[in-house]
Amino acid sequence: MQVTYWLEHAWLGTNVEPGVALDVADGRVSAVRTGVGSPPRGAVVLRGLTIPGLANAHSHAFHRALRGTVQVGSGTFWTWREVMYQVASRLDPDTYFALARAVYAEMALAGITAVGEFHYLHHAPGGRPYADPNEMGRALVAAAGEAGIRITLLDTAYLSAGFGEPPNKHQLRFSDGTADAWAERVSLLQDLDEADHSGQSGDAAGTAGTAGAAKDGGGVRIGAAIHSVRAVPADQLATVARWADERRAPLHVHLSEQTAENDACLAAHGRTPTRLLADHGVLGPRTTGVHNTHLTDEDIALIGSTATGTCMCPTTERDLADGIGPAVALQRAGSPLSLGSDSHAVVDLLEEARAMELDERLRSRTRGHWTAAALLRAATTDGHAALGRPDAGRLEAGALADFTTIALDTVRTAGPLPRLAAETAVFAGSAADVRHTVVGGRHIVRDGAHVLVPDVPRALSDSIAALRG
């Protein structure tokens, strides 16, 4: 299938170009033609600013059910976590599929074309494995397929309640017991990983949305995650890292999100979480630390010198009162930045990009730490790379045909000159301004409506209502 999209304005990595024609074949961009003043005959017209598809590098889909509920009263991350555990206890493969399908559809409406799902809800309550020990993970893959977006399933090792403590009653369903048992289970998911199987039809995933995805780079990637240094014993960290390294798969880890975690790690091991991960071979260019909030200068140097990535989740970090991470210092040290919506207090990657800059302004009392282009790179190119998709996040020949269009005529975006469209989108636009989302050359959101999930608000309402006790 071949199609031409005519883009009224396009962000090409460094600048906004008017009148760009994208030729798409087999799910990839085959040509980019600039200076095309009017739509070619038969072209699909996308008015507004078209940018590469946004990459949500850190998601916990089931946290979407907490929106609003956890805004009542006060508390800390640790009191928030107790509410989260209650929601997690009510999920089964069917209810998780329904919720995740709605959440991923919400992401598509926000211009997100790929998600990194940090998945640790593996077993039934009490820790009993399902007949298929990966049934919950497969539900997430199916949900992403039906919502029309790509997924990197970051299957997460979660073995301990804390340094030397067994899982508590809520965490039993997260745990495989040992890292070796985790590796054995997650290896069974390799039939879903389309990254290196260009001849597959995509039907192995069992989802309508991934059918044919192999031609356009694969709808599914299987990666790994270490929940945190408190949740995986130090002597088992290398097992997870080795599993990912042997498969050249992405490896993510929550890192120094809370000062309490840092203090406990120092007490248990006499070193920071970052140093502990480095000593066990976890850091490296395919690894991404999520949050990276409370770091020492040595930590920042370790992360940067190993080219370990940093995924900032500003809307969650501020919602949970976690703190503002040293993103400027990390990037200067050599750590690529990506963005995630994490707990889904909101699902809006433009807001995440804007918040990273604005939070830094509040802390430093200076402006202009990142340009709009740099923030878009974090939300696109570097985000996709963190998810194991280096061929996404660019509007250029050979790249995946994943892109999104932001309206420039809404009450938020109207007025500025078109050449300032990137600045307008990042610093004034929102998910509500997304008009089109295309994944693998296929229109998933058209004129602000999801073509696969007809009523996303109803799907969200119904799936969340099913989890109320």
Please report, in angstroms and rounded to a whole number, the separation of the first and last CA atoms in the chain.
Answer: 48
Where in the sequence numbering do the catalytic residues fall? 291, 342
Choose among 340, 347, 309, 304: nearest CA to 434: 347
Beta strands in 73-204 (DSSP E): 112-119, 150-157
* 3-class SS of residue 67: coil
* 3-class SS of residue 141: helix
Written as one letter, the residue type at 173 is: R
Choose among 155, 154, 159, 153: nearest CA to 179: 159
Rounded Cα gap, residues 136 and 158, in angstroms? 15
Q: Is residue 117 a contact partner of residue 187, using CB atoms and an 8 Å limit?
A: no
The CA dihedral of 426, 14, 248, 330, to the nearest 10 degrees, is -60
Which residues, other chains included, contact 139 with Cβ-Cβ below 8 Å and sequence gap of 6+?
A: 93, 94, 96, 97, 100
Count of other CB atoms within 10 angstroms of residue 305: 13
Count of other CB atoms within 10 angstroms of residue 332: 11
Written as one letter, the residue type at 339 is: L
Written as six digits, the tokens of 427 are 């610093």
Q: Is residue 105 a contact partner of residue 452, using CB atoms and an 8 Å limit?
A: yes
Distance of CA 364 to the CA centre of its chain: 27
Q: Is residue 149 a contact partner of residue 112, using CB atoms and an 8 Å limit?
A: yes
Rounded Cα gap, residues 392 and 239, in angstroms? 29
